[in-house]
Amino acid sequence: MISMQYNIVLPGDYNMDTIKKRVKDNGSKTDGFPDLKMKAYLIAEKNKYGNYENQYAPFYLWRKEDGMNKFLLDGYFNNILHSFGWTKVKSWIVMHEYVKAAFEFQYAVIQRLPVTEFTDITAMCNDEKENFTEWIEKTATTAYITAYNPSSWEVCRFHMTADIELLKKVAEGSLIYDVHHVSQMI
């Protein structure tokens, strides 16, 4: 499995209702997309939950690279490129994933943690597995994904839950997103 995300940073005075409407009008287009297990449409608003910027930042969980390739290379991603300019797409190899159906309003945090030189990789993996297990046991958790990128040596943790207070405790300088639509194939 592969996780993927792109971040579109918007001006501080940008009318975020424009992005919310975009998601409302187009979010269902990825419902049932080939090889997509989950896409969370994430919106962060400056000064809400202490966020420091406005951002549109969808997060994807792909079962296979075929679907990701179709999305990025067969014209579906062109709408983003034409609307917001050339956008870099981050991707990670999934270590652990948990996704269940989400029926109520959700919040999300994405933490990107550097893996420093000479880190004990085995110990790091054990710590991530323990953290993953702890999070999926929380009843409000609807998605938790741990992934890594060996070219940048980075671990990515994606938390999605209906419990905003839980996320505030772990955000540690990360943006807190409102989830405005979830495309899922569980």
3-state secondary structure of 165: helix
- The two counts, helices (H) then strands (E), for the chain are 5, 10
* Dist. CA 146–CA 167, nearest whole Å: 16
Q: Render pLDDT for 52-102 as a digit per residue (tens, 0 to 9).
A: 999 999 999 999 999 999 999 999 999 999 999 999 999 999 999 999 987
Q: What is the pTM of this model?
A: 0.94
- Domains of the chain (ranges, CATH numbers): 2-184 (3.30.70.100)
Strands 2-5 and 90-99 come out as antiparallel
Q: Render pLDDT for 97-125 as a digit per residue (tens, 0 to 9).
A: 999 987 788 999 999 999 999 999 999 99
Q: Report which of 127, 183, 118, 184 is spatially closest to residue 155, judged by C-alpha positions.
A: 127
| CB 53 within 8 Å of CB 9 | yes
Residues facing residue 177 across a β-bridge:
108
Tally of CA atoms within 13 A in the half-sphere of 142 that contains its CB: 22
Two tokens, residue 133 = 């297990």
